[in-house]
Chain A
Amino acid sequence: MLENLVDNIAQESAFRHINPATKLILCLGSLVICLVSPSPVVPLISGVVLSIVLIVPARVSPVLYGELLLGPAIFTIISVVVLVFLVGGGDVLWQFNPVPWVNLTITVGSLHEGLLVLCRVFGCSVSLFFIALTTPMTDLFDGMKRIGIPIEIIDLMMIIYRYIFIVYNQAVEIWHAQVMRLGYSRPMEAIRSSAMLCGMLFISSWNAGEDLIHAMDCRCYNGIIPSLEQAEPMQMRSLIPVLLYLAGLSGILLVVITRVVVLS
């Protein structure tokens, strides 16, 4: 239900009316700054500020937002734990030798590296969530056309987007029908049922594809899928805070970089 959920949140977001280019500038700008920062402070600040912006003025439910962050969080924490033991450098903080040929060490360098990766992932994920939770997919197609992405790819994306929900709903329906008749009660049964689900889904998608051509023909298809003009022009009211925020973040980044250079 997640993709449905994210799209629905975006549809109802209080920031939906803001021009998508403005939101993209914020998203990509903070993404780049988080990536180049040598210190965990900058991505941490960016992540926290954007999260607050998402929850308070954009009115994304904090519980839902937390659930969404949980996905990347679990993945990142596991990776960071491994990273902390793999990377070396600096004084040894903690050492563990369970057997002679296994040496687990945590050093100052590895800890710093782990913290940096954790904060970077947090900052970058929040940047991406910002665009995903405030801008429905449908608002982005027009922008893609403007920046010169081939129209064939955009048309395909639009049709795929339209059909994600149809195929997904169909899968849910088939799955319910199987569960109701105890299709997943035993392991062997579950394997057979899921194979059947995939097969059914393939056949029905194939039919839906044929019907799609049919429906397009009925309506004089001549190679054009019309685009949805962006209703909201770029407004200074939203662009200026975005630019100010990015400038501030860049300023912090600059201070951090000079400190790193001076220290070394």
Chain B
Amino acid sequence: MNIILEARNIRYRYPQSLEAIKGISFHIRRGEKIALVGPNGAGKSTLLQMFNGMIRPDSGTMLFDKEPIRYDTSSLRQLRKRVGYVLQNPDRQIIAPTVYQDVAFGPANLGYDEQAIQQAVALALRRVGLKGFERRPPHQLSGGEKKRVALAGVLAMDPDMLVFDEPTTGLDPSGSEDVMELLDELNHEGKTVIISTHDVELAYPWADRAILLLDGRILQEGVPDVAFGNPDYVRMAHLSVPTLLEVSQELGRRGFAQPERKPRSVLDMIHIIEHLLNRSCSTSRPGTISVCDVDRGWDTPLATWVSARQNLAVGAMGTSAKQRASQEHLTLDFTYGVIDKCILRALRGQDSLILTNSSMAGRVVTRVEAYCQESGTAISVIPLNTTNQSPK
């Protein structure tokens, strides 16, 4: 078990105030997606700030990469390079007067040379889809763009772990989905991602594990359907049971047998319902899912290819794919939960196209194959320009 962060019975009291963290122990594995969920004042932000040494616990130990965190200046610099922290309010995080300067802030202070700084900034801005924003002042950006700048500033330091305090506050639903998808993409590249949130509907399908915090203590910890599955705990933490889980529970109460694995997405739910009805609503001939890797060349212009096919839905996964779509003036039907939505279409006998990048192309195949195996359907994934990748 490769543990990246561990807390051992930590306690913390703000000066002249109540105890905010009352003895918490947990661990986080490398490459996990963790959602820290709880009501206001539960100690989420306080706990998050301990991850990069901004707050030192009064007692107990925080371990990063199996070493206890040391609080001298040079150790903290090392730690903060590896643990990127994105504040809730991007206006409080963005320091410099232009986007370029702000994203370059971390690398410059880490002593990178000029060329390395430029490279890190260009890469980070491309990651978050803000290429071309270098000279813009932050006050001219929208809320979502500011969040992205704040994230790019952290990504430019290439941290192992990303800590994101309330990533979706102040964003519209599509902006929230974009940010969550970006976090997914970063996680897929091997970064451990920890977020704090109130939004159970968003955290439930996204997280590998959820930690429910209440009043400075851990109330419940586990995979999302366990963490959010206990109505008493959810009520105590001033949250709500995710709709999918509630539907599944309600079906269970009515005597319909529920599978071991609780539904995490609409696709899972449809699968359960079809199973209960003991008939498949899907057509006998499922549709296909074409995958286009935007990082590789392809002679045919996408728009021509798409317009040649009737009733085709287009989805994009990852920032570079979305940029490519907007360059080619393609209207995207799906930008979040793309694979699931395309499988749902395929089950109805409709075709779809997924634009994606090289690192995520394999994921489409893996996910579709896993679904086919589970449900006994055969949906074919057609790589348009990728060599037939074996599932990772």
| Chain A contact residues, CB within 8 Å of chain B | 4, 7-8, 11, 136-138, 141, 158-159, 161-162, 165-166, 169, 208, 211-212, 214-228, 231
Contacts and interface: CB of A to CB of B under 8 A. Distances in A.
A4 B154 CA distance: 28
Contacts, number: 98
A219 B137 contact: no
Contacts of A214: 54, 87, 92
Contacts of B104: 226
B137 A136 contact: yes
B96 A11 contact: no
Given A224-B109, A227-B101, A219 B154 contact: yes
11 contacts: A138-B135, A141-B97, A162-B137, A165-B137, A165-B139, A211-B92, A219-B106, A220-B110, A222-B109, A224-B108, A231-B135
Contacts of A159: 95
Contacts of B85: 218
Interface in B89-118: 89, 91-98, 100-101, 104-111, 117
Given A217-B80, A220-B80, A138 B105 contact: no
B329 to A, nearest CB: 25
A215 B87 contact: yes
B145 to A, nearest CB: 15
Given A219-B154, A225-B95, A226-B100, 13 more contacts: A4-B139, A7-B137, A8-B140, A137-B97, A161-B97, A165-B139, A208-B92, A211-B92, A212-B95, A218-B80, A219-B157, A220-B81, A223-B109
B77 interface: yes
B322 to A, nearest CB: 26
Contacts of A223: 109
Contacts of B100: 226, 228
Nearest to B73: A222
Nearest to B121: A226
Nearest to A161: B97
A39 to B, nearest CB: 41
B138 interface: yes
Nearest to B136: A11
A223 B135 CA distance: 22
Nearest 5 A/B pairs, CB to CB: A165-B139, A226-B104, A226-B108, A222-B109, A211-B92
Contact of B138 (A162, A211, A219): A162
B17 to A, nearest CB: 16
B101 A226 contact: yes
B157 A138 contact: no
Given A212-B95, A226-B96, A217 B109 contact: no
A224 B114 CA distance: 13
Contact of B97 (A158, A212, A231): A158
Given A11-B140, A219-B106, A228-B100, A162 B94 contact: yes
Contacts of A225: 95-96, 101, 105, 108
Contacts of B54: 214, 217-218
